[in-house]
Amino acid sequence: MISLRLSAAFLAFALVAGAFPGFAQQAEQTAKDDDVVVITGKQTEEAIRDFVGQVAIATQGENQLARWDRKICPGLVGLPASYAQLAIDQIARRAFDVGLDVGDPGCSANIVIIVSMDPDAVAQELFDKHRRGLGYYYESGRKTLGRDALKAFVDSKEPVRWWHVSNTVTADGRKVGGASDKPGKVPSVSIGAVSRIKRTTRQDFSLALVIVDGRRMDNVNLLALADYIAMASLAQLDADADTSAYPSILNMFKPRTEGSPAPASMTEWDIAYLHGLYDATRESNTAKKQQGEIARSMNKDLSSPH
Give the span between the Cα atoms of 170 and 201, in whole angstroms: 4
Please write the tens of the pLDDT for every residue from 73-119: 999 999 999 999 999 999 999 999 999 999 998 899 999 999 999 99
Place 21 in a pLDDT band, splitting at 50, 70 and 90. low
Per-residue pLDDT, 261: 80
Give the gyration radius of the chain's Cα atoms: 19
140 in a structural domain: yes
50 in a structural domain: yes
Per-residue pLDDT, 278: 98
Number of other CB atoms surrounding residue 274 within 10 Å: 22
11 in a structural domain: no
23 in a structural domain: no
Mean pLDDT, range 284-292, rounded to an integer = 96
Give the span between the Cα atoms of 16 and 230, in whole angstroms: 22
Contacts of residue 35, defined as CB under 8 A and 6 or more positions apart, other chains included, come to 223, 264, 265
The count of domains in the chain is 1
284 in a structural domain: yes
Least confident span in 44-48, 83-87, 116-120, 227-231:
44-48
- Measured CA distances, 143 to 58, 72, 124, 164, 276 (Å): 10, 18, 20, 9, 22
Per-residue pLDDT, 106: 87
pTM of the model: 0.86
With 70 as the cut, is the pLDDT of residue 37 above it?
no
With 90 as the cut, is the pLDDT of residue 43 above it?
no
217 in a structural domain: yes
Q: Taking Cα atoms as reference points, which of 222, 282, 250, 242 lies closest to residue 66?
A: 282
- Measured CA distances, 220 to 18, 118, 144, 159, 274 (Å): 19, 18, 30, 11, 23
Place 259 in a pLDDT band, splitting at 50, 70 and 90. low
Average pLDDT of the chain is 85
Contacts of residue 193, defined as CB under 8 A and 6 or more positions apart, other chains included, come to 200
Q: Which domain holds residue 254?
A: 37-303
DSSP designation for 253: T
Place 9 in a pLDDT band, splitting at 50, 70 and 90. very low
Give the span between the Cα atoms of 83 and 198, in whole angstroms: 43
What percent of the chain is modeled with pLDDT above 90? 68
Give the span between the Cα atoms of 36 and 282, in whole angstroms: 28
2 in a structural domain: no
Q: Taking Cα atoms as reference points, which of 264, 265, 266, 243 lies closest to residue 254?
A: 243
Top pLDDT among 13 and 235 is at 235
16 in a structural domain: no
